[in-house]
A and B are shown apart, each in its own frame.
Chain A
Amino acid sequence: GENVEQHPSTLSVQEGDSAVIKCTYSDSASNYFPWYKQELGKRPQLIIDIRSNVGEKKDQRIAVTLNKTAKHFSLHITETQPEDSAVYFCAATGGYQKVTFGTGTKLQVIP
Chain B
Amino acid sequence: EVQLVESGGGLVKPGGSLRLSCAASGFTFSTYSMNWVRQAPGKGLEWVSSISSSSSYIYYADSVKGRFTISRDNAKSSLYLQMNSLRAEDTAVYYCARGVGWPYYFDYWGQGTLVTVSS
Partners in one complex: no
